């Protein structure tokens, strides 16, 4: 009997070892399947991913180009704004200068008119004086002629006396 038990226990051991081997193989297969599943999911077809990456790169390049163009447009707009402000300032300066010219022309015109009126008045006064003198000229001339007749004799005598002394 003792031999039977040893024989029965040998087969139990063998069946346990076989069970362990089968369990290990099963676990190994499950592990391999899991690894293959993970690997297959990670190594799916790379072409769509590469296409997407290329599309995104092209979009990024276009956006960079657009940003560069936007910056240039901002700079140009800023320059135009400065020029516009300068032109507005120039327009204000031109308007102020035109007003100053008009004011100076008016002042100069007033001064010229005043000066002309002063000259006209002076000429009018001179003319009036000369006209009065001319009006009295015939009377003065008669008086001078009369006086000269009176003084002519002594003058002639004085002249003669002077010539004789030499």
Residue 153 has pLDDT above 60, yes or no: no
Q: What is the pLDDT of residues 131-149, one digit of tens each?
A: 887 777 777 777 777 776 6
Provide DSSP, 74-128.
HHHHHHHHHHHHHHHHHHHHHHHHHHHHHHHHHHHHHHHHHHHHHHHHHHHHHHH
Q: What is the pLDDT of residues 64-118, one digit of tens each?
A: 999 999 999 999 999 999 999 999 999 999 999 999 999 999 999 999 999 999 9
In 3-state terms, what secondary structure has residue 140?
Answer: helix
Show Cβ contacts of residue 61 under 8 Å, excluding neighbours closer than 6 positions: none
Residue 102 CA to residue 95 CA, distance in Å, equals: 10
Residue 165: pLDDT band by 50, 70, 90 thresholds?
low
pTM tops 0.85: no
Residue 125 CA to residue 123 CA, distance in Å, equals: 5
Q: Is 50 exposed, middle or buried (0-12, 13-18, 19+ CB in 10 A)?
A: exposed
């Amino acid at each position: 009997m003792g031999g039977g038990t040893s024989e029965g226990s040998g087969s139990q051991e063998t069946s346990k070892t076989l069970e362990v081997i089968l369990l290990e193989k099963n676990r190994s297969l499950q592990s391999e399947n899991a690894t293959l599943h993970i690997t297959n999911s990670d190594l799916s077809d790379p072409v769509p991913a590469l296409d997407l990456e290329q599309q995104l790169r092209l979009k990024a390049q276009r956006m960079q180009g657009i940003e560069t163009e936007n910056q240039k447009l901002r700079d140009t707009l800023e320059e135009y704004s400065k020029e516009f402000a300068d032109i507005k300032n120039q327009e204000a300066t031109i308007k102020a200068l035109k007003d100053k010219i008009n004011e100076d022309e008016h002042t100069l015109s007033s001064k010229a008119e005043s000066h002309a009126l002063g000259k006209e008045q002076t000429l009018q006064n001179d003319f009036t004086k000369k006209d009065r003198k001319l009006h009295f000229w015939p009377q003065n001339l008669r008086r001078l002629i009369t006086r000269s007749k009176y003084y002519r004799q002594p003058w002639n005598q004085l002249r003669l006396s002077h010539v004789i002394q030499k």
